[in-house]
Amino acid sequence: LIPFALLSGAPVVMTGRGRLLQRPLKSYLDALAANGCKYRLEEQHLYLQGPLRPGIYEIPGNVSSQFISGLLMALPLLGESSEIRLTTGLESKPYVDMTIDVMSHFGVHVEILEDGAFRIPGGQSYTPAIYEIEGDYSAGAYFLVAGALGCDVGCAGLKCNSLQGDAKILDFILRCGGEILYDEDGTLRVRATQLHGITADISQCPDLAPPLAVLLCFCKGRSKIEGAGRLRMKESDRLKSITQAMNSLGASIEEGEDYLFITGVDVLEGGVEDHHNDHRIVKA
C-alpha cells in the first residue's frame, strides 16, 4: 500500500497495532526517501509524503518480498521508467513472480534483467480484465497436512502448476513419504501410512513453517526446518512461538537462530495453548 499511498503526493498517515509497524520497514522507507519521498515512523503511526517518483530503488531482497511487489505495481503508473535493484539475494521469490504474472493479465509489464534487477517501463496503465483467482496454498497447507496425518480432507481450487511458493508443501509431504491424489473433479487429497523426517529449506516459503512443523512432529526420526530466520519478523517470533506452542503439547522441538530441529513423537497431548496473537499459530 505504501507506494500507492505516495502516488498522489498528499500527506498520508497509516496506523497499525501489535507488531505491524515494529516489523523492519526502515530499509524500504529509506529507499523511498532516496528518491524524494518523506517519512516519519512512530510506534503506531507511519507518516508519508510523496509524490512517488521514477528512479532507481535499492532494496534488500531478504526482508520482505512485499517491498518489491508494492513498487512493481505502482511504478508503471509514473511517467518515466524505473528500476528496482536488490542489495541481497531474493527470498520469497515466488511472491514476486506471482505479482508480475498477475500484472501481465491486466496489461502491465516488467522486465527482469540479467543481474536480477527489475526494469519497470513508465507510462503504463492497467486494463480491466476477467481474472480467476486460484485457491490459496498458504491456507490449504494446513488441510493437506491434516490429510497426511490421517484425516479425510479434500482441497478444491488448488492448481497443480501454481506459481505460489507455498505449493512447496506438496513436495515436503512427498519427501516425508506421503502420497498426492487428485479426484476426478480436481480436488486435491493427501494420504500417508508411514512418515519419516526430512530437512526442509523454507527460505522461499516461510509461511509454511507452522503447518510443516506439525507434520514433522509426527514423522519418524529427526527433521530440520532451515532458512527460517525471517520467521522472527512475522506477526510473532514464529520460531519461538512454534517451539513453545508445540512443546507444551508434547512435541520435541529445539529452536536455533534460523532453524528448528524436530524429533518425531507418536502422539501429542491436549492442553490450553498460547497463540502469541499470530493467526498462523492458531491454524497450526
| pLDDT (0 to 100) of residue 216 | 98
| pLDDT (0 to 100) of residue 230 | 87
- List the strands of the sheet with 260-263, edge to edge: 199-201, 222-226, 260-263, 252-255
| pLDDT (0 to 100) of residue 232 | 87
| pLDDT (0 to 100) of residue 220 | 97
Residue listed under C-alpha cell 499470530? 278
Domain 2-120 shares a fold with domain 137-283: yes
C-alpha–C-alpha distance, residues 81 and 119, integer Å = 7
Q: Would you give per-residue pLDDT tens digits along the chain (284 residues)?
A: 999 999 999 999 999 877 777 778 899 999 999 999 999 988 889 999 999 999 999 999 988 899 999 999 999 999 999 999 999 999 889 999 999 999 999 999 999 999 999 999 999 999 999 999 999 999 999 999 999 999 999 999 999 899 999 999 999 999 999 999 999 999 999 999 899 999 999 999 999 999 999 999 999 999 999 999 988 888 889 999 999 999 999 999 999 999 999 999 999 998 888 888 899 999 99
Active site residue 207: yes
| pLDDT (0 to 100) of residue 272 | 85
| pLDDT (0 to 100) of residue 56 | 97
C-alpha–C-alpha distance, residues 103 and 277, integer Å = 33
pTM above 0.85, yes or no: no
| pLDDT (0 to 100) of residue 18 | 74
Domain ranges of the chain: 2-120, 137-283
Q: Which CATH class is domain 2-120?
A: alpha beta
| pLDDT (0 to 100) of residue 234 | 85
| pLDDT (0 to 100) of residue 16 | 83
Q: Which of 207, 237, 258, 274 is catalytic?
A: 207
Fold of 137-283: UDP-n-acetylglucosamine1-carboxyvinyl-transferase; Chain (3.65.10)
